[in-house]
Amino acid sequence: MKIATWNINGVKARIDNLVTWLSDSQPDIACLQEIKSVDENFPRKPLEDLGYHVETHGQKGFNGVALLSKMKPDEVNRGLPHYEDDGPADEQARFIEGVFSVKGGALRVVSLYLPNGNPVDTEKFPYKLSWMSRLERWTRERLPLEEPLVLAGDYNVIPEPFDCHDPSVWEGDALFREESRAAFRRLENLGLADGLRATCDAPGVYTFWDYQGGAWQKNNGIRIDHLMLSPEAANRLESVSVESHVRAWEKPSDHVPVAAFLDFETV
């Protein structure tokens, strides 16, 4: 089974690229972020024509996540749960979970879009850290189910210095602040595996290149799109690929798809 994540950076602007990618790459489940569309205006038909079931959690103009799957999910949950001690409820569309039947039980797949957190001297950085804390709490509650779980998406976190072309450029940025990286490590310490790093330890593997300054041409990138796997999912991991060729297409997203191959069969 192929499970992929891609920050599409506006589904309407990149629907042609999305259709081409789905046709070429053939993921069984595709997790999209930054769809920037309300649910009722999401361009479903060309994706359904390819055989994909579409589930969205959108909002107008920004954010928004989606799950595209070749099989219909048994259950869909929208929004990261809000806990009473978290303060005001979070109304941003950043989280969607699908539960799928596979041989041997259930597979849980989440498409998530973590807050950017910049500028760090505004309320946006505490919001980022609070969101990561809620994600950690949610994950801690899910892991006792002992089901394969894939948390796929744009984390807006550069985990290690070799995950960016020049660490000095990112000093002080919310994506590379120690608080953000520590929150990411806490997810790993729950028992989640970073899919790509479980299969590849090479530097210079990136998933995002800015539109400015010739970043793509110079390979001045960062790795912020991750597939985090529970032990039950990591045990089935075969390989992870970064489909960076998509960044060279006309009207590209500034992110590229990342895909994990897992040894699961649908029922």
Going by the annotation, the residues of the binding site for Mg(2+) are 7, 34, 154, 156, 254-255
Binding-site residues, in ranges, read 7, 34, 154, 156, 254-255
- CA dist 232 and 148 (Å) reads 5
**Cα–Cα nearest to 5, from 260, 185, 205:** 260
In sequence order, what E strands does the chain have? Answer: 2-7, 29-33, 53-57, 65-69, 75-78, 95-102, 105-113, 149-154, 193-194, 208-209, 221-222, 225-229, 237-242, 258-262
Among 84, 79, 56, 82, smallest CA distance to 69 is for 56
Q: How far is CA 196 from CA 62, 114, 133, 135, 181, in A?
A: 27, 18, 23, 20, 17
Please count the other Cβ atoms lying within 10 Å of the Cβ belonging to residue 40.
8
The residue from 154, 173, 194, 225 that is catalytic is 154
**Is residue 113 annotated as a catalytic residue, yes or no?**
yes
How far apart are alpha carbons 49 and 88 in whole angstroms?
40
Residue 225 falls in the annotated catalytic set: no
* Residue tagged active-site, from 57, 173, 225, 255: 255
Which one of the listed residues 52, 113, 155, 206 is annotated catalytic? 113
Catalytic sites, residue numbers: 113, 154, 255
